[in-house]
Structure 1
Amino acid sequence: MPPSTHRSGFAALIGRPNVGKSTLLNQLTGEKLAIVSPKPQTTRNRILGVVTRPEGQVAFLDTPGIHQAKGQLNRYMVDVALQAADEVDLVLFVIEASDKVEVGPGNRVILEQLQKLGKPTFLVINKIDTVPKLVLLPLIDLYQREFPFAEVIPISAKEDDGVEELFRTVLSHMPEGDALFPEDVLTDQAERTLVAEYVREQVLRHCHQEIPYSTAVVVDFFDESEREPLPGTPPGKLAGLIRISGSIYVERDSQKAIIIGKQGQMLKTIGTDARKAIQRLLGAHVYLSLRVRVEPRWSERPEGLKKLGYE
């Protein structure tokens, strides 16, 4: 019997903010590569997650939600998403399950962009655990009249329902070829980048109003000279020490005061919860020091975006 065909390629997750693209990426890879928050525009950069199986490999690109861009940062995020869609073998257009049988204005704009790209596209209907299954059929029929989707796959990323079927179907549409990444590669995100995102996740979690959207995090210092575990450390136990210091940037002094909190309590809470998540990520004890800095109007200025890593 001849060997089965090995396939590999890239697929981009495209959709409006908060439809569950990052949750889906984390579910596909089995690791927390993308931070998750109920707040819109949590994802700001494209995030690579590689899934490798004996029969093939798919590199998924999670992208910022496509929305009406009104500032430099928002335009940057939309550009990142559209560029990713233009560079892949397959686009996964992720929408939310809804009992409203309509194509909203935001999704219609995305469909127009997909028409221009001309890429093979799946319709992925997420959050099917939130609606009766009967409402999915008219929603599917409506979208299929709007665009020639190669496949339509309903899933619940949160409940891991349909995710494995989605992966198998994506892989079957990939071109034949050898793996694009070594077997042990999961992402191209540096540990420093993931650490910064884990800190920003806690800002999103604990702060409200305009604070999360005016915040960026930069890791200033990452010392792993004491990272190696001592001989005899039991497997699975945190071992060694990594020293990290980072800066949380905001745009105004009033925002700085909110993040620091009364007697520094808010910043302490953010740091404590971020440190726990970072320790799980790195598998070592972490000393985390955070400070809050003001960079006026950074999200509106090209030089501000560049300084804080959005370029």
Structure 2
Amino acid sequence: MGINTDNPKSTLHVQKRTELSFADGIIPPRISGDSLRLKEGAYAAAQNGAIVYVTSPAVTTGPKTVGVNSTGLFIYDANASNGTGTGLWNKLPTTTTPTGTGDGAYAARINSGLSLLQVGLNLLNNTVQIIPLPTASVNTPTTTPVVDINLDVAGIANISTTIGTGPTSPGDSYYTVPSTGLYHINYSYRTGQGLRLEVLGANRPGLIITKSPAGGLPVAATPIDYRYFGGISLGNLTIPLQPLLPNVTLSLGNLALTQGQINHIYQFNAGERIRFGVLTGGLALGVLTDASAELSIYKIR
């Protein structure tokens, strides 16, 4: 079929207009993200490869529109897993990235001001509390407690964080996988509360990464990796202050640095929710929140 040509060179051949007053191009259907969600049932195998332009992000998403959280061109993949079945709208890249490397990149550091979320999750015979993923940098050196949070690589379109207001409205925080593939994760957590190493015995605290299907609540999360904390004891460390203060020493007592790190590569499916948490191990919340955390996630291929 030819448009503006009598000699089509393919199944559909659109020839540009010669008049300078006419714009050239193909305009796909324009639709809001919420309208696309309401039409999820209309898209099946026969609609594989359909393209639309999303004019506004979906406020509420479904299994097939979980990644429709921004405006732009989206293509329907009828064979992609969405966590509860098949069929997924994927955003077309705006730059030349054939392998999708770096898709959904996110990195943040919480140097102080960490406040864990209680989400009613228990894994590995431990209570799991979730790190609220930052969506902005916050630095308030004059407040008590000091808040020092750095959002190094935004990627906040993939981040959802809500602070709970009570038992009936718990908080949650997760990273939504934008597209199926291999992802590299680096997640570290450290507290310098001075824990004795013997505390890190039975029912040990640690850090954990979980995933749940598209739209899955924390109770549906399963562990994909975890590490128990290790400790570095400083013993009864004494530091001499000579020659500034002769015959004076500074005693640091029996301190320990408690820390853990996960650095690995994982296979994720589009729409899955990734949460970064802490295994409490029976420790008091104050011990766990007087800490720092650093995490990053990005697609390899």
Tell me the TM-score normalized by structure 2.
0.24
Structure with the largest fraction of strand = 2
Structure with the largest fraction of helix = 1
Tell me the TM-score normalized by structure 1.
0.23
Bigger radius of gyration, 1 or 2? 2
Kindly indicate whether structure 1 or structure 2 has the higher relative contact order, using CA contacts under 8 Å at least 6 residues apart.
Answer: 2
